[in-house]
Amino acid sequence: MTGQATPATHATVRALLAAVAAGALLLGAGWHTPAAAHASLLSSTPSDGERLEAAPEQVTLTFNESMSEPAYIVVTGPDGEQAAEGEVAVDGADVSVALVDGVGEGSYTVAFRVVSADGHPVTGQYAFGVGDGPISTPGADQGEGAAPETGENGSESTGSTESAPVEEERDGGSLRTVQWAVGIGLVAVAAVLYLLSRRKRSQ
């Protein structure tokens, strides 16, 4: 007996085609998932470009999500010497380090490298000033993206490290690959459903 497509069959096929079309539109508009979001610096104390009358006791960085240990903050004084002392403390989204006593006037550069709880690295640098005088521009000598990195004994030193934008570019490339794979799959499903619908109509 020759089978004929029932109204229910047509309705199912149309619903599946509509779902595939909606998925394709979402891919075309851009697919953003929570995993694509990255940790970032929200604020700092002292802040970038801030001029203080007296030296602060510590430098504190606040991020948009919790950070994990170890974290690294290097504070370089106007004489090129390290102005931070002690271990870098991580308290949820706050990362801080104490400054040495007797910090004098001048421009101070803060360079940091931290890792979020989900493993995403965040690096950056900025400058603040104490007293009168110009505030230096970070990156003028070391280049953009310079941040602390660890030596063989785990000590901190300044130097160029992999920055967050590079990591974001990698993550973005992986996400686009998944988008293309899903898009091709949706097109294939749509083609199969269309052929099945035509075949049932011709029977």
What CATH number corresponds to the domain at position 127? Answer: 2.60.40.1220
Regarding whether 174 and 133 lie in a shared domain, the answer is no
Question: Is residue 1 assigned to a domain?
Answer: no
Regarding whether 156 and 173 lie in a shared domain, the answer is no
Identify the pLDDT of residue 159: 39
Average pLDDT over residues 154-173: 41
Q: Residue ranges of the alpha helices (H) in the chain? A: 7-29, 164-202
Alpha-carbon gap, residue 187 to 194, rounded angstroms: 10
DSSP code of residue 82: B
Structural contact between residues 94 and 41, judged by C-beta atoms closer than 8 angstroms: no
Average pLDDT over residues 176-181: 63
Name the domain count of the chain: 2
Domain residue limits at 134: 38-161
Beta-carbon contacts of 43 under 8 Å, excluding residues fewer than 6 positions away, are 61, 62
Regarding whether 106 and 19 lie in a shared domain, the answer is no
Question: Is residue 148 assigned to a domain?
Answer: yes
Confidence of residue 141 (pLDDT cuts 50, 70, 90): very low
Alpha-carbon gap, residue 84 to 86, rounded angstroms: 7
Residue 105, pLDDT > 90, answer yes
Which of 49-58, 120-129, 160-169, 185-194 bottoms out in mean pLDDT, i.e. has the lowest? Answer: 160-169
Rounded alpha-carbon distances, angstroms, from residue 183 to 25, 154, 176: 10, 45, 10
Of 52, 105, 96, the C-alpha closest to 78 is: 105
Regarding whether 141 and 86 lie in a shared domain, the answer is yes
Alpha-carbon gap, residue 128 to 45, rounded angstroms: 9
Quote the distance between the C-alpha of residue 179 and its chain's center: 20
